[in-house]
Amino acid sequence: MPRKGDATRGGNKQVPPKETRLTLRLDFEGAGRLGPGKMRLLELLEANGSISAAGRAMGMSYRRAWQLIDELNRTFSEDVVKTQQGGVRGGGAVLTQTGRDILNAYRGIEKKAQKVAAAEIALIARALSKS
């Protein structure tokens, strides 16, 4: 009988992914959380200058992308993203310096954690089912 969380298809366990990666989520007691999805949204927003384009690139609605950005802005003491109303040149959004600092710090923590935990991650990855 499959355990809860086991992916099955036709009775066979799903083939594990070829790459094992560490993901990081920071939980702020009573104040929200920060994880890979929000960080990717910020990266795409910075690259595209638009909440809607960043959301589309992640396969999410504008409304959901906007909710996540609003949550980030409420989580921190300074805005992470500034928006500009539409007009002749259209609206847009940009990361603030605080947003860039948070994104860079998060990616820095990821790199350090990956480096420190590389041997243990490799040991766990080798123990994955071969089927």
CATH code for the domain of 33: 1.10.10.10
Domains of the chain: total: 1
| CA separation for the pair 101, 88 (Å, rounded) | 31
Residue 19 confidence (pLDDT): 81
Residue 119 confidence (pLDDT): 92
| CA separation for the pair 23, 51 (Å, rounded) | 23
Structural domain span for residue 103: 23-126
User: Tokens in use for 124?
Assistant: 């766990």
**pLDDT tens, per residue, the chain with 131 residues:** 444 444 444 444 444 456 888 999 999 998 889 999 999 999 999 999 999 999 999 999 999 999 999 999 999 999 999 998 765 556 789 999 999 999 999 999 999 999 999 999 999 988 987 75
What are the residues whose beta carbons fall under 8 Å from the beta carbon of 18, sequence distance 6 or more? none
| CA separation for the pair 75, 98 (Å, rounded) | 12
